[in-house]
Structure formats: structure tokens, C-alpha cells
């Protein structure tokens, strides 16, 4: 009996020799449940055609070469609160991105969280396949390669584990055992940190410290654990395409590999990994609620050229009661205003 990986590779080879059927190849890949890592594990040396992006996406895909490329500030939260608030407010207005250190989360927790997500993705396909789900998060947990695989014009080179953290944590039995304890701990740590940052962001706008929390902005939380395996043709695809996040703000833990970039003017600059740091970025809802004072900026992740996989874990914060926020949301960006009239506020990458 042929394995899903073998069947997938046979189909890819066949399409190289014959007529290309994108819909069929995408479905074959999705049905195999092997993810991008499974393709690499099979010995693949060229990426399937449905991962190849158009020239307009591929133009300028490179690490930053600017002499001042390290422009994303690192803010020390151990300084007096008023100073940290000023620094966070400035970064949120000018860049939409910043990193934080001395945030209260022990280094050991950061390392264990990254290690557990890496361990999940490096399990055998037959174990991960039990969590492979497309079309909803009813169980609160899903493993998937490209959430928008069936709709996008080109797939991106990554696999993702999603876990609902709030308002109600996914059933513990649904969270993969290999990372269960670490996910629960990460939820506790990021909820505390999210509360702290939410208050500081409010103060930076001259608001009461608890204003965003009162508007349920801390309640909706989704964790995504991305795995970016080695890509044999990183100049033809991307890890995550350019986008802004649709929530309030995002708490991101990344390893040492790098690849995250932020749009700065007409250029892309690297968000260079800082040991022990956590990346924070403003999202669309907070830009709207701040009347465009805080900036939600485009960012992307390059395909990983390293033999070592890149791991990142994002927690997206969203309001659970959107109608309570609408009276506070006026933006010059119609697309962002539409976030409050859509069916959901979910992370789509």
C-alpha cells in the first residue's frame, strides 16, 4: 500500500512530465496531510508549482542590506513605567512593531515553548494527521498547511498548529500531548503580558489603563505555531505573504533563525531575533480604535533557506464583543473598518 507521501510525490513527478492540473495537485497535497515538512522529508529538491509565487510577490525577496536595518526598537520593560509607555507609544505610532525584554517570562519558558512546537511538527505524519483539519476550529485545535490553501493563488512554505486560547481554552485532550503543558503555560504567560501591554498602550493614548480590557480586547486569543522547514528554492516562494494582522495586537515569539520582515516606507527591514525578546506588533483593530494613531503595518516572512527549521509562535488578541468596539472605531482605511461587519475576526495567515 502506497503511503500518502509516496502518492503525493508520484503525482508531482507526473505533473512535471504532463499537463499541469493545479486544482488536482493542491487537493492531492491537502489530502495527503503531510504538510510542507513531509515534502522535504520525502527528499524533494524542487518545490511544487502551486508554491511558486508571481513575479510581483517575488520582487525584492531578500534579507535587508540597509546599514541602519536594525530599526525595530527593543524596549526594556524594567525601566520606569512612564519611560516604557513613552517608548512603546512612539514605536506603535512610527513603526507598528517593537521588541520587548525583561517582560517577566523566564527564558526557560520561552525555550520550552519553542521546543514543544518544534517537537509537534517533527512527529511522524500519521500522528500529526489526526489533527489535520480544514474548514473550522470546532475542536479548538487544528494542524494545517496554509489556512488559505484552497483560495490563494500560490501556497506559502510553512505548516501551522492552531490552538484556541480564549475566551475558553480548547479541551486539554484536544491539544497534542507533546506540547500540551507548554501551550497551557504559554497561555497563562501571554495573557498576563497582554494585560500589561494593553494597559501601557492605553496610557500611550491618554486613556484609562483598563479601557481596552473593558472592551473585551484581551478575551479572544488564538495561538498559531508556525514551522518553516528548509526551502530548496527560497527565491520562488515565501513563508508568509505580505499582510497586516486583523486583531488588536500580536505577541510573537521567534527563534534565532530570522526571516520576519516589516514594511518601512518603500523598503522591507528585518526584525532581527534578539535573545530572550518577544516581538509585539499593532494590528488593524487597534489602529482603528486609536483613530490611526497606532499603525498596523504590512509584514511578511521569507522562505527559510537554512537547513535548520524556523519556529515562531504568535498569539493574536481580538475583542470578543465587537459591537462594543464599533463606537470607538473610525479609520481612513475602509478595508479595516469592514473588519467589524465581517463574519469573524480571525487570523487568516
> Average pLDDT for residues 93-112, to the nearest whole number?
98
Query: pLDDT at residue 197 above 80?
Result: yes
Position 336 scores a pLDDT of 44
Query: pLDDT at residue 341 above 50?
Result: no
Q: How far apart are the first and last CA of the chain?
A: 34
pTM of the entire structure? 0.90
Position 6 scores a pLDDT of 55
Q: Which domains does the chain have, with CATH numbers?
A: 4-340 (2.60.120.330)
Position 236 scores a pLDDT of 97
Position 136 scores a pLDDT of 74
pLDDT confidence tier of residue 279, bands split at 50, 70 and 90: very high
Query: How far apart are alpha carbons 302 and 258 in whole angstroms?
Result: 9
Provide the mean pLDDT of the chain.
89
Query: How far apart are alpha carbons 346 and 349 in whole angstroms?
Result: 9
Query: How far apart are alpha carbons 327 and 312 in whole angstroms?
Result: 34
pLDDT in tens, 54-78: 998 898 887 765 655 679 999 999 9
Position 135 scores a pLDDT of 76
Q: Which three cell numbers stand for residue 27?
A: 487537493
Q: Which three cell numbers stand for residue 326?
A: 464599533
Query: pLDDT at residue 349 above 50?
Result: no
> Average pLDDT for residues 110-138, to the nearest whole number?
94
**325 contact partners, CB below 8 Å, separation of at least 6:** 215, 217, 285, 289, 319, 340
Query: How far apart are alpha carbons 224 and 226 in whole angstroms?
Result: 6
Query: pLDDT at residue 18 above 70?
Result: no
**239 contact partners, CB below 8 Å, separation of at least 6:** 156, 157, 158, 226, 228, 259, 300, 301, 302, 303, 304, 310
**Do the Cβ atoms of 224 and 165 come closer than 8 Å?**
no
Highest mean pLDDT among 63-72, 180-189, 317-326: 180-189
Amino acid at each position: 500500500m502506497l503511503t500518502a507521501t509516496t502518492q503525493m510525490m508520484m503525482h508531482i513527478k507526473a505533473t512535471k512530465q504532463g499537463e499541469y492540473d493545479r486544482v488536482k495537485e493542491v487537493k492531492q497535497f491537502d489530502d495527503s496531510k503531510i504538510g510542507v515538512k513531509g515534502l522535504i522529508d520525502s527528499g524533494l529538491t524542487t518545490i511544487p508549482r502551486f508554491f511558486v509565487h508571481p513575479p510581483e510577490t517575488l520582487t525584492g525577496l531578500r534579507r535587508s542590506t540597509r546599514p541602519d536595518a536594525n530599526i525595530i526598537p527593543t524596549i526594556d520593560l524594567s525601566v520606569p513605567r512612564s519611560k516604557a509607555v513613552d517608548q512603546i507609544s512612539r514605536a506603535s505610532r512610527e513603526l507598528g512593531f517593537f521588541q520587548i525584554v525583561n517582560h517577566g517570562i523566564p527564558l526557560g519558558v520561552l525555550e520550552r515553548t519553542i521546543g514543544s512546537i518544534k517537537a509537534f511538527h517533527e512527529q511522524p505524519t500519521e500522528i500529526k494527521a489526526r489533527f489535520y483539519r480544514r474548514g473550522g476550529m470546532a475542536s479548538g485545535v487544528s494542524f494545517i498547511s496554509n489556512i488559505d490553501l484552497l483560495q490563494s493563488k500560490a501556497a506559502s512554505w510553512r505548516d501551522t498548529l492552531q490552538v484556541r486560547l480564549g475566551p475558553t481554552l480548547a479541551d486539554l485532550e484536544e491539544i497534542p500531548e507533546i506540547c500540551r503543558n507548554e501551550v497551557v503555560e504559554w497561555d497563562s504567560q501571554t495573557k498576563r503580558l497582554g494585560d500589561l501591554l494593553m494597559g501601557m498602550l492605553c496610557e500611550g493614548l491618554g486613556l484609562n489603563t483598563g479601557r481596552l480590557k473593558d472592551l473585551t480586547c484581551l478575551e479572544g486569543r488564538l495561538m498559531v505555531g508556525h514551522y518553516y522547514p528548509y526551502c530548496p528554492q527560497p527565491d520562488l516562494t515565501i513563508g508568509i505573504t505580505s499582510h497586516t494582522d486583523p486583531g488588536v495586537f500580536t505577541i510573537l515569539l521567534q527563534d534565532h533563525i530570522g526571516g520576519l520582515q516589516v514594511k518601512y516606507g518603500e523598503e522591507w527591514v528585518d526584525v532581527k531575533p534578539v535573545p530572550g525578546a518577544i516581538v509585539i506588533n499593532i494590528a488593524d483593530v487597534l489602529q482603528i480604535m486609536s483613530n490611526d494613531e497606532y499603525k498596523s503595518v504590512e509584514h511578511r516572512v521569507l522562505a527559510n533557506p537554512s537547513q535548520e527549521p524556523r519556529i515562531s509562535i504568535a498569539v493574536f488578541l481580538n475583542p470578543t464583543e465587537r459591537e462594543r468596539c464599533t463606537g470607538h472605531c473610525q479609520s481612513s482605511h475602509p478595508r479595516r473598518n469592514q473588519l467589524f461587519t465581517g463574519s469573524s475576526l480571525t487570523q487568516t495567515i
